[in-house]
A and B are shown apart, each in its own frame.
Chain A
């Protein structure tokens, strides 16, 4: 009998994933974003194979306009713009994933603890989150990077450490409303411990908006890194899209391609993450409460 239940549970879990995908597909944007992101991942992983030239090699002629041998032209040092963009994908994607991932983890924990336990700790967390949300995080990131150094790990870490309040606020709101839900009361009344409730009920049920927001934050992190690089604060050892724009700016008026192409890729990457956020919202939109609505209607 035990076996039978187990089988059933796993079967249902598989079904959930299918259902998730079914819902996700409802969003055309989500689908497009997913495809673009897949392409970007492929480009990032296979950068050495895809790029026709060494991104650092200053072999070609200076400021060549786009042609067959240099599809996106060359920059002021004769480096192939396309190859540099391909390598830049690595930086942007890793900044997006790691910074936003960190931000999500911190946000989920702080938000769910503070929302579920409430009390004075919650009030303090709420004030801190409010403050962080109002004040432009970018300036804080800028200051910290300017003072403490600008390696890519530092940049990711700082972005993660300064953007969690958004996630914390979403998670806190979820925890606050879940706390009043009947099944949480039931769990308390049947003696489940607070930690257990937090990890088996609150976080699994409330994490969805945070995940959708994380997709958006991945795009945000890419933009932040680009802006830092544009200010000359990017990692000096890496090729990044923002840095390409920064370096090409003086030559912009007679070599538009050096500025335009990297920018287009930034936009494309950020848009794909926004699209995915859109798709996730469809997928997570809990239709579980449909019946409840029918009753109250």
Chain B
């Protein structure tokens, strides 16, 4: 298998100004993972856990404070803007808010054509417009001109998100970061967008980093899932394995609290207390210790190592041997 992207010990700290001493939000703290060709890796976590920051560091919208990112065999960490231009086409990103993904003063066609022009795709404007039209028709956004001449505010969220995906896919990227790309959409449109993403994956063999807070969506979309909490990886495993056999208490809680439409109603809750913590100058030990019902002394003093408990299933927890 071809390795598309590898992140090694990535760090992103945000300073908080206070009189006296400096504090840091350790939004991404020593996170390592890799994505193979055509694979969808889910990044699962609650708000403020660092998943969006992780996506932005990888796509070079933010600069990391440490660690390395290898993309198609090149180290792109700390790379400057000009050099990154060579990778832009190969690495694309889709954001959460479809309504805001297009310049409100530009027609859809202009928003679609500009990146192609900048990255030298298509020989002429005419050619590019043809490519766009064909792609639109293939994505069942027909008749294409009905959409292309419009301004973003004239379209619905589902339509915009599909066009937004199209915009990325026209560049034929080998890697795509989808940052909460369905969280603002209604259930009925959400499925269409997810399926479109799956279709792209199978057609272009694009690897996808699928960032989400919804474990049900992650299960539907991903080959592997990485669970993060307060800037740290808690567990990483094959999607089916993670959901059927969660090891980390946090993963167990996430699964237990996730609403379902299955008939067996009276399940046993794996209850935990408290709310998500922001990792501001986090104390030593496991980040989850303050909420973990099983936390022992060691959990508060020593950081747990990643352990491979079965092939491909890694957990960071002191309680698991």
**Nearest 8 Cβ contacts at the A-B interface:** A190-B115, A191-B88, A182-B100, A292-B99, A288-B153, A288-B104, A2-B126, A182-B95
For the complex, what is the distance from the CA of A250 to the CA of B59, rounded to whole Å? 72
8 A Cβ contacts from A241-297 to B: 286-292, 295
For the complex, what is the distance from the CA of A186 to the CA of B97, rounded to whole Å? 11
What residue of chain A has the Cβ atom nearest to residue B95's Cβ?
A182
A275 CB to nearest chain B CB (Å): 26
A240 CB to nearest chain B CB (Å): 40
Interface of A is mostly: helix
11 A–B contact pairs at CB < 8 A? A1-B126, A5-B149, A9-B109, A183-B104, A185-B95, A186-B102, A189-B61, A190-B88, A192-B114, A205-B105, A295-B184
Check B97–A288 contact: CB distance below 8 A: no
Query: Which residue from A1, A189, A205, A290 sits with its C-beta under 8 Å from B153?
Result: A290
What residue of chain A has the Cβ atom nearest to residue B124's Cβ?
A2
A180 CB to nearest chain B CB (Å): 10
Complex contacts, B198 vs chain A, CB 8 Å? none
Complex contacts, B278 vs chain A, CB 8 Å? none
For the complex, what is the distance from the CA of A160 to the CA of B135, rounded to whole Å? 51
B126 CB to nearest chain A CB (Å): 5
For the complex, what is the distance from the CA of A189 to the CA of B100, rounded to whole Å? 15
What size tier do the contact residues of chain A reach?
20 to 34
Check A191–B99 contact: CB distance below 8 A: no
Check A190–B100 contact: CB distance below 8 A: no
Judge whether A8 is part of the interface by a CB distance below 8 angstroms: yes
Judge whether A127 is part of the interface by a CB distance below 8 angstroms: no
Contact surface of A with B, Cβ cutoff 8 Å = 1-2, 4-5, 8-9, 12, 181-183, 185-192, 194, 200-201, 204-205, 286-292, 295
Check A5–B109 contact: CB distance below 8 A: yes
Interface of B is mostly: helix
What size tier do the contact residues of chain B reach?
35 or more
For the complex, what is the distance from the CA of A96 to the CA of B156, rounded to whole Å? 43
Complex contacts, B105 vs chain A, CB 8 Å? 204-205
For the complex, what is the distance from the CA of A153 to the CA of B230, rounded to whole Å? 60
Judge whether B119 is part of the interface by a CB distance below 8 angstroms: yes
Complex contacts, A201 vs chain B, CB 8 Å? 103
Complex contacts, B100 vs chain A, CB 8 Å? 181-183, 292
8 A Cβ contacts from B80-118 to A: 81, 84-85, 88-89, 92-93, 95-97, 99-105, 107, 109-111, 114-115, 118
Complex contacts, A295 vs chain B, CB 8 Å? 99, 157, 184
8 A Cβ contacts from B197-241 to A: none
8 A Cβ contacts from B101-146 to A: 101-105, 107, 109-111, 114-115, 118-119, 125-126, 129-130, 133, 145
Complex contacts, A192 vs chain B, CB 8 Å? 114-115, 118
B167 CB to nearest chain A CB (Å): 8
Check A286–B115 contact: CB distance below 8 A: no
What residue of chain B has the Cβ atom nearest to residue A9's Cβ?
B107
Given contacts A1-B130, A190-B88, A295-B157, contact A12 B99 (CB under 8 A): no
Complex contacts, A291 vs chain B, CB 8 Å? 99, 153, 156-157
Judge whether B151 is part of the interface by a CB distance below 8 angstroms: yes
For the complex, what is the distance from the CA of A94 to the CA of B104, rounded to whole Å? 34
Complex contacts, B88 vs chain A, CB 8 Å? 189-191
Query: Which residue from A2, A183, A191, A200 sits with its C-beta under 8 Å from B85?
Result: A191
For the complex, what is the distance from the CA of A196 to the CA of B46, rounded to whole Å? 35
